Amino acid sequence: MNDNAHDSNAVPDEPVPPSLQGDIERILFPRRRIAARIRALAGRIGGDFGDRPMMLAAIMTGSLIFVADLIRHLPLRMRIHLFGLSSYAGAATESDGARMLGQRGAEFAGKHVLIIDDILDSGRTLAATVEACRLAGAESIRTCVLLRKPPARRKPGGLDQVDYVGFDVPDVWVVGYGLDYGDYYRNLPDIAVLKKKC
């Protein structure tokens, strides 16, 4: 868990595609390191869930690649729900929970839910998602993020305690491996910091 987020030797195993290279300041986590961390996370999650069927709830679009890789290391009986929200600012309410889950809400009742997001920042997206699953009658709810920003980033009403974390990152804007800037860079195979533009 004590992965060094500031590793200046973090070079990608393969070069960053030239079309994406110009905007990248540095690579935080190269693809091979991400893959190793995901295998370790999957081992823990698999052990914790055991033979309980899982409802995996992934917050789109940032968790797209993380989820795709993680589930292939999770030999559990599972169903998948995709939350189609890119960010969620407000406090959770009953109607918000219903809206977030829509018609699929009933499928969460009595289920062991694992919520997955790309990155924990203010914590509000995860707080709202947890609340939606709780209102839908989930039996148990666990949370998992690939990346976690420093605790000072958390805002009132935000979730702070996450069950599974891939890497801690500094307070910078990260892209790649599903994470975007203006909807670009999601296809970068490594996790990187963007250059600051004036």
User: Active-site residues: which are they?
Assistant: 121
Tokens 């039996």 correspond to 139
* CB of 76 or CB of 165, closer to ligand 5GP: 165
Question: Considering only residues 117-176, where is the footprint of ligand 5GP by CB under 6 A?
Answer: 117-125, 173-175
Applying CB under 5 A, the site for Mg ion has a residue count of 1
> Do 14 and 189 meet the contact criterion of CB atoms below 8 Å apart?
yes
> Do 127 and 141 meet the contact criterion of CB atoms below 8 Å apart?
no
> Do 83 and 112 meet the contact criterion of CB atoms below 8 Å apart?
no
Q: CA 146 to CA 169: how far, in whole Å?
A: 10
> Could you tell which of ligand 5GP, Mg ion, none binds residue 71, using a CB distance below 5 to 8 A set by kind?
none
Tokens 């959770």 correspond to 92
> Do 99 and 137 meet the contact criterion of CB atoms below 8 Å apart?
no
> 25-64 mask for ligand 5GP (x: CB under 6 A)?
----------------------------------x--x--
* CB of 113 or CB of 159, closer to ligand 5GP: 159
Residues that bind ligand 5GP (CB under 6 A): 59, 62, 87, 117-125, 173-175, 179-180
Which spans of this chain sit near Mg ion (rule: CB under 5 A)?
62
